[in-house]
Amino acid sequence: MRDLADQPIGVFDSGIGGLSVLQALMAELPHERFVYVADSGHAPYGERGDAFVAERTHAIADYLVAHHHIKALVVACNTATAAAIHEARMRYPQMPLVGVEPALKPAVALSQTGRIGVIGTRGTLSSAKFAKLLDGLKGQAEFVIQPCKGLAHAIERSTGHPAANAAQQSEVHRLCQAYTEAMGPFGKGTGQIDSLVLGCTHYVFATDELRAILGPEIHFLSTGEPVSRQTRRLLETQGLLATTDQPNAARLTQLFTTGALIDLQTAALRWLHLPAQQCSKAEGLR
Ligand code: DGL
């Protein structure tokens, strides 16, 4: 068995959304190897119950440990973090485990109007974890919370196989338009929303649509970078940063899916410039 520090870092999401986090992780930790699982065969998580999402989280964590001997796990999904990170920590008490949550605190620091929009899945935004996060910021800003049913699914499909793209792309635009309209006016004026928290890792891939709808002056907050820095800190503290200088670590990164291989390949190439050969079906993951 190789030195634990030279084992890969596991990363997963319900689908391709977590690639936005993987992108930040690869930039922050260029000498690390990553194993990514897109659970696209079971996506979207956002409209399922906690029990289903927790069950998937455990199945994927077990698969990453048993088949890939990961040294750390990044749950690159807000919905899975809200539903299952607590239990995952109990299941793997020794393993560094990092989750993602909507970036409310950074938004409070950035907002000038004090009115902040938060978009996410129903699962995330109705969770006890999110309620606690919100409660801790009481009085510091006004939050306009908008669950976006269907948006992660449309993004998932639009970044997949090119044949499905055009129709799904306009569906992404239509949903972004409808949900942001429902939140009230965006802008820099008094009473307007000047910051939008992207509380689902898929939504990072709709940034262009959101920017076109909301204009250049609205702040968008995602979690990829803070999560990557937190992962580095945890690995550092536990002496688990890769010991060998692997300048080609990106080429060793492997991506697996429980859904259609072509969709993962298309998304990996488009967002991370990773070639199709680095993507496979997740054999052995139930
Ligand atoms: N990307 C996921 C998140 O951050 C979930 C999307 C979904 O499957 O509904 O919440």
Q: In Å, how far are 38, 39, 45, 137, 258 from 14, measured between CA atoms?
A: 6, 5, 6, 28, 10
Which amino acid would we find at residue 257?
A: T
Cis peptide bond prior to 247, omega within 30° of 0: no
> Quick one: average pLDDT of 22-47?
95
pLDDT over 50 (residue 176): yes
- 213 backbone dihedrals φ, ψ, rounded to 5°: -80, -40
> CB under 6 Å to ligand 1: residues?
13-15, 17, 43-46, 77-79, 121, 124, 152, 200-202
Centre of ligand 1 to C-alpha 77, Å, is: 5
The average confidence (pLDDT) of the chain is 94
* Cα separation, 238 vs 97, whole angstroms: 12
Residue 65 has a pLDDT of: 97
Q: Is the dihedral of CA 192, 154, 205, 211 positive or negative?
A: negative
Residue 2 has a pLDDT of: 63
List, by residue number, the catalytic residues.
Answer: 77, 200
* Cα separation, 108 vs 283, whole angstroms: 43
Task: Report yes or no: 256 and 30 within 8 Å, Cβ to Cβ.
Answer: no
pLDDT over 70 (residue 165): no
Q: Rounded to two decimals, what is the model's pTM?
A: 0.95
Centre of ligand 1 to C-alpha 1, Å, is: 34
In the chain the domains, ranked by start, together with CATH numbers, are 2-100+224-281 (3.40.50.1860), 104-221 (3.40.50.1860)
Count the residues in the chain.
Answer: 286
Task: Report yes or no: 284 and 257 within 8 Å, Cβ to Cβ.
Answer: no
Give percent above pLDDT 70 in the chain: 95
Reported as a single tens digit per residue, the pLDDT across 230-259 is 999 999 999 999 987 666 677 789 999 999
Q: Say which residue, 162 or 127, is predicted with more confidence.
A: 127
Give percent above pLDDT 90 in the chain: 89
> Quick one: average pLDDT of 36-57?
96
Residue 160 has a pLDDT of: 65
Closest C-alpha to ligand 1, atom 8: 44
Residue 104: partners with Cβ closer than 8 Å, 6 or more residues away: 116, 118, 133, 134, 137, 143, 197
Reported as a single tens digit per residue, the pLDDT across 52-69 is 999 999 999 999 999 999
Lowest mean pLDDT among 186-190, 241-245, 276-280: 241-245
Query: Residue 261: is it exposed, middle or buried by C-beta count within 10 angstroms (0-12/13-18/19+)?
Result: middle
Reported as a single tens digit per residue, the pLDDT across 89-136 is 999 999 999 999 999 999 999 999 999 999 999 999 999 999 999 999
The atom of ligand 1 lying closest to the CA of 18 is 1
The atom of ligand 1 lying closest to the CA of 44 is 8
Task: Report yes or no: 34 and 8 within 8 Å, Cβ to Cβ.
Answer: yes
Centre of ligand 1 to C-alpha 157, Å, is: 13
Residue 252 has a pLDDT of: 87
pLDDT over 60 (residue 1): no
